[in-house]
Amino acid sequence: MAITGVYLYLAPTLPDAETLKDVDLQTPLRVYTADGLLITEYGEKRRTPITYQEIPPQFIDALLASEDDGFFEHSGIDLKGLARAVFDLVTTGRKKSGGSTITMQVAKNYYLSSEKTFTRKFTEILLALKIEKALTKEEILELYVNKIYLGKRAYGIEAASQVYYGKSITELNLAELAMIAGLPQAPSAANPIRSPERAVSRRNYVLARMYNLGKISEAEFQQSIRQPATARYHGATSEISAPYVAEMIRQEMIRRYGNKAYTSGYSVYTTINSARQRAANAALQKGLLKYDRDHGYRGTQTSYAVIPLNVPEAPELEEWIAQADPAKDVDWPQTLEAWEEKLRDLGDFGIIEPAVVMNATEEGAWVYSIGKIRWLPFAGMTWAAPYLSVNSVGNAPENALDVIRNGDLIWLEATPSELKLAQVPEAEGALVSMNPHNGAIEALVGGFSNSDNQFNRATQAERQPGSAFKPFIYSAALDNGFTTASLINDAPVVFKDASLESTWRPENYSGKFYGPTRLRQALYRSQNLVSIRILKQMGPATAVRYIQDFGFNPARLNKDLSLALGASAVTPLDMATGYSAFANGGYKVSPFVMQSIISDTGEVLYEANPTLAMAPPEEDATGNSVNEGTAHSNPTSEINAEQTDKVEAPTLYAERIMSPENHYLTVSMMRDVVRRGTGRKALALGRNDLAGKTGTTNDQKDAWFSGFNPDLVATVWIGFDQPTTLGRWASGGGTALPVWVDYMREALDGAPEEHFEQPEGIVTVRIDPDSGLLASPGQKDAIFEYFKAGSAPTEYARTKDIIPYQEDEGGSGGGSVIPEQLF
């Protein structure tokens, strides 16, 4: 009667078991590259649901042997086990023994709390019976393996397999499957990382049960119980390192969906190109490490006590431990385990990794990095002269003991040819690379390591770009009456301007003055005084109105003559966005990194629809867009391009912000920066389709290079987070440009050369290089220059040396020497 009463009381409150067919498992947010590689996942619970068909049959045998060997025969409850559990609960008030079937655990996990009371247990039983009627055994088992907690934030067997072994459940051997199957009983206390001995004992129990039930042979049993525990913690699986991009996506998803973003199984596909992202990671880290080594070794900040141990040549880790004499040496197994935990806690630093010095000698040192012992030769430390200041270093070391000691926490860089000592750079940097045709960010690195500092310098560091900003000034000048041959006097000048310092004496970076200089020369030589005089003639307000269309916030652009020297605060992303117009023919695109959002059921929740850098089909006869600017009626951000709810999104065309003529002339001058100016190191790429500009600010606090070809833009910035000098030898061309070259070498590998098409409104004229006027007929040093139609000089320069008239072999005359053409 009592049981009947309880049933009548509880039955109306029971949930509908049919709802389990549509259960929404909490799954993490996953972020992918454009080509489908996993960047990272976010969420309290690591879970990757799998279907029943994907579960290895041997795992099912192991799980049932461990948890419920009568699962496929009972109706949801195990009467004997249940009677024992109920007796314990009633007589002691505590649960001492099992009794729950897998179906009952499904009922508890999906509907009930872990409260240990008679009422909850009886509800669990009734629910189990309902579930057995509503679902098949296979459906119940699928729910169970995807829901159970298995330690280390892993929910479900696929997540546990990834956490403990770094691979899918379908790739595990029998011993590993049994290890996972043994976890549900005590997932935290008996997991193979925290308690390997207890976990192995539990695993062997599962294997024994499988053998006794006839699920495995004696040979399989004997082989599996002899296998050592190989589990170790594997963080969130990542196929490509792009932590700064991942954080940008996380913030945007939280803005859109709140905390639901972490649990609803969203998959976000970014615009990141995995090959280019890898190239960007490596290029920036290599560049910062080179700068750091050039400025000396700062020494180690952390040491661990260690007793030296003589080591044989090329030891394996097991050999090292086996030969250790406990009476003379440290407890190596315990020491190495402690070191490994500390080293892992340091995080991911890309191409360098932490290590501890085990035994240092004059010739080098045996060092321990995660999972291995390595020999670091003195040859890998010869660079490590002591750091004295940003401009000086001490004497070079004579042997390894001048640099490191036993127990030192050090950093290593492994190259194909050697192992070298390294250190985490104090100087920082950023690299942004974009597709100029639509604004898609294809690579973004916000610093040397996200593990060390989460500040995203690519999007958040507002720094002065220096001369890298000059192309915008020069383009504005071309739009306001100047030509590429306009002659500007490069001479000392003193300005008294109330908006600046009381007296301002700007200088060129080289400290030299060149006198009258053509506009083209001034840009590729990066002459400050010419840029200032150009801006003074135009007026800062005119320049700001023109430049803001490149995507710069006008409120952050200086309204005085310092604008000419790049003294306004911009981010690397701002610069890459602005340079995209130079690359794409003069169109304004907006940066974005989120391509699409996919729900856990495969529904497309969002698809980016960026503006395209091309003329819309309905152009009038003059080449001006009839609907120019329409694409920007709803501004976009670096996270999102324009979104539309229509199934077929309309094509959005970008606004043209440079005339075809202005664009061609500006780019031709920027190509000369690479061909003969401050960007000559880019010639190492052996391409003829590159253009860009270096930038170095006052006191060498910032080093920049922004450059492009018609299909790819990249901006590199290097500096200290707290602005201070990089040293008297630092410059955009020497510090930032090599990083850009390393990146573009990989990013453009295999890409054919592209060309900047010359528009119809451009004419080519022979001019005198000194005056910028028309060259005299037959002038020896005449050069070709480009002009907008109607803006070429009409006056001839004073007569210089004339090339004598020569008849060709056919007697037709002509045949003057063709002067060098600049472009």
pLDDT of 815: 33
Model confidence at 392, pLDDT cuts 50, 70, 90, reads very high
DSSP assignments along 409-446, one per residue: EEEEEE-SS-EEEE---SSEEEEEEE-TTT-BEEEEE-
Is residue 296 within 8 Å of 387, Cβ to Cβ? yes
Tell me how crowded residue 720 is: count the other CB atoms within 10 A of its CB: 15
Cβ atoms of 200 and 131 within 8 Å: the answer is no
Label residue 319 by pLDDT band (50, 70, 90): low
pLDDT at 458: 96
Amino acid, single-letter form, for residue 592: F
Tell me, yes or no, whether 70 lies in a domain.
yes
Q: Which of 291-305, 357-371, 547-561, 753-767 is predicted least confidently?
A: 291-305
Give the tens place of pLDDT for each residue, 763-793. 999 999 999 999 998 888 899 999 999 999 9
Angle at 518 between CA 513 and CA 524, to 5 degrees: 75
In a domain, 435, yes or no: no
pLDDT for 400: 95
Quick one: pLDDT band at residue 819, thresholds 50, 70, 90?
A: very low
- What is the model's pTM? 0.80
In percent, the amount of the chain with pLDDT more than 70 equals 79
Does residue 11 surpass a pLDDT of 80?
A: no
Residue 732 scores a pLDDT above 50: yes
63 and 173 both lie in a single domain: yes
328 found inside a domain: yes
Q: Is residue 26 part of a domain?
A: no
Top pLDDT among 388 and 800 is at 388
Distance in angstroms (rounded) separating the CA atoms of residues 216 and 178? 12
Q: How far apart are CA 408 and CA 192, in angstroms?
A: 30
User: Could you read off the pLDDT of 607-634 as tens digits, one per residue?
Assistant: 999 999 998 886 544 555 444 443 333 3
Rounded CA gap, 335 and 649, in Å?
A: 60
Residue 820 in this model has a pLDDT that exceeds 70: no
133, with CB counted inside 10 A (0-12, 13-18, 19+), is: exposed
Residues 54 and 201 reside in one and the same domain = yes
SS3 of 725-744: CCCCCCCHHHHHHHHHHHHH
Number of domains observed in the structure of the chain: 3
Q: What is the pLDDT of residues 632-642, one digit of tens each?
A: 333 345 565 55
Confidence of residue 645 (pLDDT cuts 50, 70, 90): very low
113: in domain? yes
Instruction: Quote the pLDDT of residue 28.
Output: 83
Q: Are 203 and 69 in a shared domain? A: yes
| pLDDT higher than 50, residue 2 | no
| Number of Cβ atoms within 10 Å of the Cβ of 450 | 22
- List, for residues 546-572, the tens digit of each pLDDT value: 999 999 999 999 999 999 999 999 999
CB atoms within 10 A of CB 206: 25
Whether 528 is covered by a domain: the verdict is no
Task: Verify that 199 and 51 share a domain, yes or no.
Answer: yes
Among the candidates 401, 422, 443, a domain finishes at 422
Indicate if the pLDDT at residue 372 is higher than 90: no
Most confidently predicted of 219-233, 493-507, 596-610: 596-610
Compute the distance between CA of residue 597 and CA of residue 270 in angstroms, rounded to an integer: 9
End-to-end CA distance of the chain: 99
Which residues make beta-bridge pairs with 431? Answer: 445, 716
Proportion of the chain above pLDDT 90, given as a percent:
55
Task: Return d(Cα 420, Cα 55) in angstroms, integer.
Answer: 45
pLDDT in tens, 419-453: 999 999 999 999 999 999 999 999 999 999 987 77
Residue 94 reports pLDDT greater than 70 = no
Among 296, 301, 332, smallest CA distance to 409 is for: 301
Q: Assign 7 a pLDDT band (cuts: 50, 70, 90).
A: very low
Do residues 606 and 596 touch, judged by C-beta distance below 8 A? Answer: yes
- Tell me: the pLDDT tens digits for 485-539? 999 988 777 666 565 556 666 666 666 777 899 999 999 999 999 999 999 999 9
SS3 358: strand
Same domain, 94 and 220: yes
Q: Strands, E, within 245-351: which ranges? A: 267-270
336 with 191, same domain?
no
Query: What is the average pLDDT score of the chain?
Result: 83
Strand partners, 387: 393
Confidence band (pLDDT; 50, 70, 90) for 192?
confident
How would DSSP label each residue in 39-88?
Answer: EEEE-SSB-----GGGS-HHHHHHHHHHH-TTTTTSSS--HHHHHHHHHH
Higher-scoring residue by pLDDT: 453, 807: 453
Looking at residues 728-757, what average pLDDT do you find? 95
Are 54 and 177 part of one and the same domain?
Answer: yes
User: Which CATH number goes with the domain that contains 364?
Assistant: 2.40.50.140
Same-domain check for residues 177 and 319:
no
Amino acid of residue 257: Y
Q: Is the pLDDT assigned to residue 665 strictly greater than 60?
A: yes
Domain that holds residue 210: 47-225
Does the pLDDT at position 270 exceed 90? yes
Q: What is the mean pLDDT of residues 399-427?
A: 93
- pLDDT, tens digit, 9 for 90 and up, residues 96-149: 555 678 777 777 665 554 554 455 565 667 777 777 777 788 888 888 888 888
Report the alpha-carbon distance of residue 318 to residue 336 in Å, rounded: 11
The answer for residues whose C-beta is within 8 angstroms of residue 255's C-beta and 6 or more apart is: none
DSSP 264: B
Domain shared by 86 and 181, yes or no: yes
Domain boundary residue among 359, 389, 422?
422
**Lowest mean pLDDT: which of 14-28, 48-62, 305-319, 414-428?**
305-319
| Domain shared by 82 and 188, yes or no | yes
More confident of the two residues 731 and 191:
731
Judge if 75 and 178 occupy the same domain: yes
Domain presence at residue 283: no
- For residue 106, tell me if it sits in a domain: yes
Structure-model confidence comparison of residues 524 and 454, the more confident one? 524
Average pLDDT over residues 156-163: 86
Residues forming the active site: 67, 467
Same-domain pairing of 310 and 220: no
DSSP 3-state of 628: coil
pLDDT at res. 634: 37
Q: Tell whether the model's pLDDT for residue 87 goes beyond 80.
A: no
Q: Is the pLDDT of residue 397 over 50?
A: yes
Residue at a domain's end among 225, 245, 269: 225
Domain containing residue 98: CATH number: 1.10.3810.10
pLDDT of 82 over the 50 cut: yes
